[in-house]
Each structure stands twice: as C-alpha cells, then as structure tokens.
Amino acid sequence: MQSARLSFFAIVFSIAVMSNASANQAINSTEILLSAMSPFEDMIEFALAGSDSGVSKAVAEADRLAANIKSVLPNPIASRFDALMAVLHNAAADKDHHKLASSAVDIFRNLLIGPTIDDCNHSSLPG
C-alpha cells in the first residue's frame, strides 16, 4: 500500500513538473511575440508618414527579431511569416508606403492573434 501511494505521488509530481514547464514555455513564447510587435507598429507609423529612414530602422529591427519570432511559431505559421516578410521587404525596396503599412499590419495581426487550430491543419498558408 505504501508503494502504491509513493507511485501515485511520483506520477502526480511528474505531471505537475511537466505542466509547469509547458506553462513556462507558453509564457516565454507569448513574451517573444509581444516584444516582436513593436517594430511592426513603428513601421506602420513610419510608412504612413513617408519616413524612409524610420522604415529602414524598423525593418532592420524586425529582421533582427525574425529568428526568435519563427522559433516560437508552428512551421506553417513560420512559413506564412516568411512570406509576409518577403512582401514587406519588396514594398520597402519599392518605397511603396501603402503596401508596406498594409504588410506590417498583416504581420502585426498575425503575431497578435497567433496561430489558430485551422492554421495548423493546413500545409500551405500564403498569407
């Protein structure tokens, strides 16, 4: 009986430790995504104001954070992020401020909302 009780407590403790680790990972992922939103928010403002230097700085900051962003996203969502970033880079290179602001909004929205179950069930997500 004592052995069964110890086994039960060992199982409960293991589940608690795994749940805590999972919760910490979710919190870390959320923090990464929330902190990554800032350059896209700035980019929208700079693009609408027509500030090429501001856009360049915001794009550079977004590029710097891209690897961390993708590391916390499921593969299909990370692929969509890459596709959206490519559109954003093209708009920045073309100095198409409207398209740049629109692309930054799309990325910002995707980071804010995060992946849905439907997103994770599809292998091709164009954007």
**Predicted pLDDT of residue 127:** 45
Q: Tell me what percent of the residues of the chain surpass a pLDDT of 90.
A: 41
**For residue 89, what pLDDT band results from cuts at 50, 70 and 90?**
very high
Number of domains in the chain: 1
Domain that holds residue 88: 2-120
Give the CATH number for residue 79.
1.20.120
The Cα-based distances of 39 to 32, 59, 65, 85 in angstroms read 13, 7, 9, 12
Asked, for residue 127, whether it belongs to a domain, the answer is no
**For residue 2, what pLDDT band results from cuts at 50, 70 and 90?**
low
Rounded-to-integer distance, Cα 14 and Cα 127, Å: 40
**Predicted pLDDT of residue 23:** 54
- Reported as a single tens digit per residue, the pLDDT across 9-46 is 445 445 554 544 455 565 677 777 777 888 999 999 99
Asked, for residue 7, whether it belongs to a domain, the answer is yes
